[in-house]
Every structure is written in C-alpha cells, then in structure tokens.
Amino acid sequence: MENIQNFLAQVRSDLGDQWVDQRPETLVRYGEHTLPGQARAPSAVLFPESTAQVVAIVKAANEFGIALYPISTGNNIGLGSRAPARAGQVVVDLGYRMNRIREINEETCYAELEPGVSFQMLRDELRRRGDKLMVSATSGPPHGGIIGNAMDRGAGYGPYFDHFGMTCGMEVVLGNGEVIRTGDGSLDTESLVNWHVSKFSFGPALDGLFAQSNFGIVTRVGVWLMPRPPASRSFHFVFPDDEDLAEIIELCRPMKLSNFVPSLFRIANDLYAMAPDERNPEYLEGSRQSISGTARKALQGKHGLGAWQVSGMFYGASAAAIEPLVARVRGHFERSGKARYIGHDEALNIPALRIAIDSMSGEPSAGELGMLQWRPGSGNSWFLPGTPMVGSQAMELDRLGRAIYEKHGMDYIVMHVASARFARGLHVLVWNKDDAGENARADACYRELTLEFSKRGIGVGRAPADYADLHMEQMMPSLRRACQAIKQALDPNGVISPGKYGIDLPGAK
C-alpha cells in the first residue's frame, strides 16, 4: 500500500493531480467487462498527455514496483474491454488525452496517429479533407482505437484489411523506460522522411514484438491508408443450408487466390447476420437449450436471408466499370445451383448486408454491437480460430463448433472472414451474465472449444483476457520461454501488463 501511494504521489507531480483518478466509480467502470470472470478493478487510472509523461510513469513504476496496464480507447468488447489483466494493476489510459492525428500525408497515403485516435475520428478527418483516402474499418465499435486494434492484430474487410500489416513505423516506450522507434524511424535523427513509408531499415525488424505482447507501450504509429476509389459495388449470395459451407469455401478460394475479388469474403451464418436486429425468441432464463432449427428458419424467412450469407466488394473507376466484375462473380457462384444473388442496391436496405457494405467501404459502424442483446445480461466473448480454405476442413470444424455450442446451451453465432488460403472464424458467445449457471456454461463452452480445436491443430488469432493463460499453455514450451526471455530483456521488472497474453517474467505469476 505504501508503494502505490508513493508511486501515485510521484505521478501526480509529473501529470498533475487531475490526471490521477482513484474515485471508486472510476475504478468500478474500468474494471468491468463482458467475460465470464469477475470484474478486475484497477487501483488507479492515469491519463498521460505525451510520450514523455508515459516515460515518467514507466520509470516511477520501476522505482516503486507497480504493475501498469496501458489501454488505448478501452473498447475491446468481448475480449476484455478496459479491465486490467489482474485486479489492482494501474490502468494507463492513453486514449483520453493522447488522441491526436499528428499527420495525414495525401501523397504517400499514410497517417501518423496517437493511441486515442478512433476509427470514427480518422474517418471524420478524412471526410473533412475531401474524402481522398479511406480508413480500413472494423465492424466493431466506431470509437475503438486504431492503434489498439492493430497491436491486437485486429482486422477489417477491404483490401487494407490487415491492420497490423498496414502499420509502418512505431514509437515505443519499453518497460525499462527507454524510447525506441522502429523501421527507418530508428535513425538517430529527427529528420525521418522514410519512417512511415519504409517498413524495414538496417538490422532486425522489431515491430512484431509489440503486437499481442506486453514488452512496451506504443505511443505513435504510422498507418497506411487506401486511396478512395471513385466507385465501389458490393455483391451478396444467400445459401439455404448449414452444410453449404463446404461449397461456399470452395467457391471463394479461387476468387481470392487470383485476387480477382479485392475485398475479403464475409461468410456470416444466419444468427450472426440477424442477431444485431433480433432477440432470441425462444430464450427463457435458466434454459439450457440452444435456439431451435424451427426458430432459425422463421427468422431467415422474416429477413429474407439464409443459413449463410456471402458478401464481397469491387472497387473501380465507375459503377459501369465494375458491373462486368460483378457479373463474373455472380456467374461463378450461381453455377452451384444454390446461391441466391442480392445486388448492391437491394443490399443497402437489408441491415445485415448494409453492415458488410459499410465495413468494406471504410465506414465505421456500430451495427453489429446489437448482437450483444441477443440474450439479456450482456455476456459476450469471442472465440477466434481459423481454417484452411478447404471446404471439407471448414465443414468439419463447423460441425465441431456447432455441437459444442449446443452441448452448453449456447446459440451458434459465427462469421468466417475468408482470404485466399485461410479464413478466420469469428465465433461469438452471447449469454446472460446475470445468470450464474449460464455464465458458467459460457466459460465451459469457450474452454472446450479451445481444447478441441487445439487437438486438431487449430489455434486462435486473438483471445479474451480471461483465457490468455489457457491459450499460452497450448504453445510449445520453447516459445513460452522465448517470450519470457524477451520480457526480461525489455521489461526487467515486469511493470507493463504482467499476465497479458499469458506473458510474465520467469517464475512470476
């Protein structure tokens, strides 16, 4: 207790009293999340304004032995929100004051951002400047942080979907208080003309160390932006049966291997598409039953959708120039005999498909957040495995996931985001967090999904904070030791987010 008070006294002198918050209501708010585990309240929340203030916080944490937990905007809903990895850690809220768009370069198409810049903030600024450039948006919270999403290896759906891959040049405060820049920013000069246009410079490329790790605090990043095309047109196909997934994957793969379709394919099942605008019509508190096939069919009929909806987008000089591309992909899918085509103009009036259009057009949207109310109680977590783009393998994993959901009384909500060789599965768990039995079943469901998919050689791309240790235990021991060694080298006192992503100093817990 003495250490934390001495630490906060030091930080108050560096930041100012008003930027150190220990009010009970603040600690409760920052400790909340949607996962099955208990809330994890921090011992304080700090609001730095600059990299220099972050350095001061980190140096004080080393001096007094305090565990920090940096966040950007704290909108990582379903993966931990803003709650620290462990109760009592001091949250460093980078997003509240470090929210400047430091540069937008319209010649080489990048922006330099601080952690508090959200997808909506950047979209609004680009629109103000004439809409020449396009941000890659998620379909999650519009006020989610761009840097936080990229460092967690989140993604969008358009051609610039790889958000971490589209970063170029970081400024990082290491756990020992030193500041480094990556790429050509590592030159010992302030004239950094290539920092955000050339990813690699002399020596090792260190950027990847700071994605899904707790080795440092990222305070500035360059993000590449796509020139906004004059026109874009989406296409959509509805398939009637659960077992159509295998054929859908086989149809999508050649379109992406050739890069004929520049966007990713969104392959959403019925509940993923409709849950944002619906509530489970059969839900009864205490029930251990998943939604019935009969109720699903009724919802499909109500919305004019099917068991699966496939969406993609073309970009071009004009709508007329795009039409032959749409005709080709339509002919390709309709040869299956099962695909029903929905064109761009019609899709604009179908909420589930409008979300897909927005996400591939660089328009942040809160539409999908509606699925958190599919059941009452606001419990939500995401299981994020992948599959090779092979229909039989995708179908085997779909049957496995569906059966595990049903075993635990969960409703199977999933979307596969498909590229050329690989599809990421966004498996959503929505449950009544206020029902102790349902909360426990959601936890058991996630753990069984993890173990059963792992047995089949399938890992996850991201993980909710409650399950970081579970996923790290699936990794080979030598990799775990390597993570610990890097942690010890860059953060020797383990002050940055101990336990996040399952990474600690050797012997610590």
* Contact yes or no for 354/348 (Cβ under 8 A): yes
What CA–CA distances, in Å, run from 173 to 56, 170, 420, 490, 495? 10, 10, 36, 10, 12
Locate all alpha helices (DSSP H) within 376-465, ordered by sequence.
Answer: 391-407, 436-455
371 close to 268: Cβ distance less than 8 angstroms: no
Q: What is the pLDDT of residues 462-485, one digit of tens each?
A: 999 999 999 999 999 999 999 999
Structure confidence at residue 112 as a pLDDT band (50, 70, 90): very high
pLDDT grade for 226, boundaries at 50, 70 and 90: very high
Amino acid occupying residue 10: Q
Q: Rounded to an integer, what distance in angstroms lies between the CA atom of residue 291 and that of residue 284?
A: 11
Is residue 3 packed enough to be buried (19+ CB in 10 Å), middle (13-18) or exposed (0-12)? Answer: exposed
Q: How far apart are the first and last CA of the chain?
A: 19
Q: 101-227, which class in CATH?
A: alpha beta
Handedness of CA 125, 162, 156, 91 (dihedral sign): negative
Name the one residue in this structure whose structure tokens are 């929100």: 81
pLDDT at 5: 94
Percentage above 70 pLDDT, the chain: 100
Long-range contacts of 253-257 (CB under 8 A, 24+ apart): 253/389, 253/390, 253/418, 253/420, 253/421, 254/332, 255/312, 255/329, 255/332, 256/389, 256/418, 256/419, 256/420, 257/420, 257/421
pLDDT at res. 191 = 87
Residue linked to tokens 């793969």: 253
Residue 57: pLDDT above 70? yes
What pLDDT digit, counting tens, does each position of 239-288 carry?
A: 999 999 999 999 999 999 999 999 999 999 999 999 999 999 999 988 89
- Degrees to nearest 5, angle at CA 465 with 272 and 485: 135
Task: Read off the tokens for 505.
Answer: 């100093």
pLDDT at position 458 over 70:
yes
Q: Which of 6-10, 165-169, 185-189, 301-305 has the lowest mean pLDDT?
A: 185-189
Q: Tell me the average pLDDT across 111-138.
A: 97
Q: What is the pLDDT of residue 139?
A: 85
Mean pLDDT of 319-330: 97
Q: What are phi and psi of 31, to 5 degrees?
A: -90, -10
Residues 6+ apart with CB under 8 A from 150: 163, 164, 166, 167, 211, 221, 223
**pLDDT computed for residue 140 by the predictor:** 83
Q: 20 — alpha (psi -120 to 50), left (phi > 0) or beta? A: beta
In sequence order, what DSSP letters do the residues of 227-263 get, joined into one string?
EPPSEEEEEEEEE--GGGHHHHHHHHHHHHHTT-S-S
Q: Return the CA Rg of the chain.
A: 23
Q: Which helix (H) or strand (E) holds 73?
A: none
Tell me if the domain spanning 2-93 has CATH number 3.30.43.10.
Answer: yes
Chain-centre distance of CA 485, in angstroms?
Answer: 27
Q: Is the pLDDT of residue 1 over 80?
A: no
CA angle 423, 401, 77 (to 5 degrees): 70
- Whose tokens are 């950027």? That residue is 207
Cβ–Cβ < 8 Å for 357, 344: yes
Q: Is residue 292 pLDDT above 90, yes or no?
A: yes
pLDDT at 506: 86
pLDDT exceeds 90 at position 341: yes
Spatial distance between the Cα atoms of 10 and 323, rounded to a whole number of angstroms = 63
Predicted confidence (pLDDT) at residue 93 exceeds the cutoff of 90 = yes
Alpha-helical (H) ranges within 361-433 are: 391-407
Distance, CA of 66 to CA of 44 (rounded, Å):
11
Torsion sign across C-alpha atoms 321, 357, 266, 133: positive
Q: How is residue 77 annotated by DSSP?
A: T
Please enumerate in sequence order all residues whose Cβ is within 8 A of that of 303, keeping only pairs 6 or more positions apart, or say none: 273, 274, 277, 350, 352
Identity (one letter) of the amino acid at 201? S
CA dist 24 and 14 (Å) reads 23
Residue 153 pLDDT class (50, 70, 90 cuts): very high
Model confidence at 507, pLDDT cuts 50, 70, 90, reads confident
Contact between 31 and 85 under an 8 Å Cβ cutoff? The reply is no
Query: What confidence score (pLDDT) does residue 484 get?
Result: 97
Residue 277 identity: D
- Beta carbons within 8 Å of 434's beta carbon, 6+ residues apart: 376, 377
CATH superfamily membership of 231-464: FAD-linked oxidases, C-terminal domain (3.40.462.10)
Residues contacting residue 279 through CB under 8 Å, at least 6 positions apart: 373, 374, 375
Please state, rounded to an integer, the average pLDDT across all residues of the chain.
96
pLDDT for the residue numbered 38: 95
Retrieve residue 382's tokens. Answer: 């995401």
Instruction: State the Cα–Cα distance between residues 44 and 294, nearest whole angstrom.
Output: 50
Bridge partners, residue 20, by sequence: 46
Count CB-CB contacts under 10 A for residue 352: 24
Q: How confident is the model at residue 509 (pLDDT cuts 50, 70, 90)?
A: low
Distance CA 405, CA 441 (A): 10
The domain ranges of the chain are 2-93, 101-227, 231-464, 468-502
Residue 77, number of CB atoms within 10 A of its CB: 19
Nearest to 422 by CA among 453, 457, 460, 389: 389
Helices (H), 338-390: 344-347, 351-360
What is the residue-wise DSSP string for 132-178? -EE----SS-TTSBHHHHHHTT-B-SSTT-BTTTTEEEEEEEETTS-
Mean pLDDT of 298-308: 97
